[in-house]
A and B are shown apart, each in its own frame.
Chain A
């Protein structure tokens, strides 16, 4: 190893080791120790904890729903934007990216107004005669799903546009001139050719929802707990610090496993190869 490489890489390696690896090892060590001896007691307690089980279930079901919803909404939208040209395309891209640049609190406040007691949705439903009394959807699982879908939709759209831009118009025209309908073309030509972007989008949105803290905290509160909010609630609010370390390690491991699994299954299907 020459001197230049050392000068280039060593400072940053030290940075990562000191600020990421060592703290993570301390976290792992803390999660495995009870009164100074090594023990799995914290994990056993965690897996028997009913709130944890609920949070785990919530986290997974919310993440699945959000991935599904963002794909459902994102695919046609990204296709539309990729097939738009000139100024309009820039405007649409700008409008898609803009929400990504504002913080999650700003973006969640409006959902409190929409989903809260006697809020916009409640009034709309009573106008339609669906409900008799004002209701609140806040702190429900549905609220977290709606809010997270809203927050992560731009991420999905941006990932999809990247690949859809590269699908040439000629392939589409060929499909249509051979007698396929627009819908058939979309499902049999556009979607298979967008697989790389779909996988990137799914990984991004799934892991983002899996580890999201702000939106579930504001819209789910203590009633719809997910793993990330449980870390904070068991820590700063309830003082059950012995469990905080094990939940943290669990959440970290879960993220790594999920990313690896999606990428592995993707390369099996033949979607994404090595990074370009």
Chain B
């Protein structure tokens, strides 16, 4: 169809606005001087050396661990719930659905602070200091849980539950049914929920604000602190590495699932 010229120019400007800042970050990461500017004074790769320094690497390791563990556990809790909500449609399930989606309503930083209070309470009353890494993981599970239910729930909505009775009457056990019928039929949803969850956890900052400790600081928080303190191009270099990681993941999503299934 025909589109007006004005609209086309407008949309080009919008995409320039969306993408030019990322381009600036890439360029700024190659600066030879230790300031974040554009255009740069000279070309250098030294900030990439500091991007792979120990503090960023350990931050990456923390974020990676938290992301993977939180993704898996939120799936373990989320898949049965999504199944139950799709199978049993009653007043009761509609009510508890709201309970399960409640974390969405709570601002990340508020959830973070309330869990910090819980940590303090346990430290005082039970004289046990829970490892910060564990608390980070718990917090991230809570954040991911509603997303998991939503994505997996979408797949179960299309699932024909009479198959379950058919399988049972043909002699399949509950375990057979789950392993050979139920899970295979929602595999694409599980993959997209996993990718979405991992990225959400890996990028999240507010939920971790009150919960990280020494030796368990997630990467985005390390980056944010560096940006606040000074702003040498090493943060830009880390950003570029992360951008390429994101491009890789986006490519994988596009290849395996198609983008139309994503973010809806």
A: residues with CB less than 8 A from B are 1, 5, 7-9, 11-13, 15-16, 19-20, 22-24, 26-27, 30, 73, 76-77, 79-81, 83, 90, 92-114, 116, 119-120, 150, 153-154, 158, 162, 169, 182, 210-211, 213-214, 217-218, 221, 228, 231-232, 235-236, 244-245, 248-249, 251-252, 255-256, 259
Contact = CB atoms under 8 A, between A and B. Distances in A.
B259 interface: yes
Interface in B225-247: 227-228, 231, 235-236, 239, 242-243, 246-247
Contacts of B204: 103
Contact of B223 (A15, A105, A162): A105
27 contacts: A8-B81, A12-B100, A12-B145, A13-B96, A16-B102, A19-B115, A19-B138, A24-B114, A26-B118, A26-B121, A83-B3, A93-B259, A94-B254, A98-B250, A99-B18, A103-B242, A104-B203, A107-B21, A109-B227, A150-B17, A211-B109, A213-B206, A217-B224, A217-B228, A235-B210, A236-B210, A251-B110
A9 B81 contact: yes
Interface of B: 1, 3-4, 7-8, 10-11, 14-15, 17-22, 24-25, 28, 36-38, 77-78, 80-81, 83-84, 88, 92, 96, 99-100, 102-103, 105-111, 113-115, 117-118, 121, 138-139, 141-142, 145, 199, 202-206, 209-210, 220, 223-224, 227-228, 231, 235-236, 239, 242-243, 246-247, 249-250, 254, 259-260, 262-264
Contact of A158 (B106, B249, B263): B263
B242 A23 contact: no
Contact of A98 (B11, B28, B115, B246): B246
Contacts of A110: 20-22, 24-25, 28
A97 B263 contact: yes
A83 B1 contact: yes
Given A8-B80, A110-B22, A213-B205, A102 B246 contact: yes
